[in-house]
Chains A and B, each alone.
Chain A
């Protein structure tokens, strides 16, 4: 059974802002590779967050 996609004009207004180059790069990957990329990015974001927290603590001292 196919799910029909309704095109909402509000959503359409956001579409020119979508970076298609990122999506095209992701579509070259397998689903497993996309998830590995998510894990890697998530780890990177956590590292950055910790570094930011350390920097804020140091600034307060």
Chain B
């Protein structure tokens, strides 16, 4: 199933979830030409925000991506509070809910390194290009090397 970026992001925004878009979709916002298959967001860990996340995602049947079916997993406030980073499947596609990211910290630490994007009829925060590069470098995944090279090229192209 493909991820409905055009539905998932408005769902979070309209549910008043405080989040910052990172990862491949953020790369696309910034000009990347790479296809990505999931939405990665860093979310605010406040109690009110955890309640909003649980409420908006419940109808989308969130479940742990890659886990065997039938586990007693419920994405409610206690689950969100006791966990931190969740890689989920939903009816609208794959969503990574990240409480913290290596090299970037949590929502409040990342907030100064974001800008507001208007898309799909809503507004949301997206990480900036230098910080996205920093996050991908910190993640240290070999698969990101080409992506980092592309993002660094975007920095150069932006200076032209």
CA distance A52 to B148 in the complex (A): 30
| Residue B137 at the chain A interface, CB threshold 8 Å | yes
Interface SS of chain A: helix, strand, loop or mixed? helix
| Residue A11 at the chain B interface, CB threshold 8 Å | yes
| Residue A46 at the chain B interface, CB threshold 8 Å | yes
CB-contacts of A1-57 with B (<8 A): 1-8, 10-12, 14-15, 17-20, 22-24, 26-27, 31-32, 34-39, 41-43, 45-46
Chain B's closest residue to A24 (CB) is B157
User: Is the Cβ of A18 less than 8 Å from the Cβ of B148?
Assistant: no
Partner of A35, one of B28, B113, B153: B28
A residues neighboring B (CB under 8 Å): 1-8, 10-12, 14-15, 17-20, 22-24, 26-27, 31-32, 34-39, 41-43, 45-46
| Residue B48 at the chain A interface, CB threshold 8 Å | no
CA distance A5 to B120 in the complex (A): 31
User: Is the Cβ of B134 less than 8 Å from the Cβ of A18?
Assistant: no
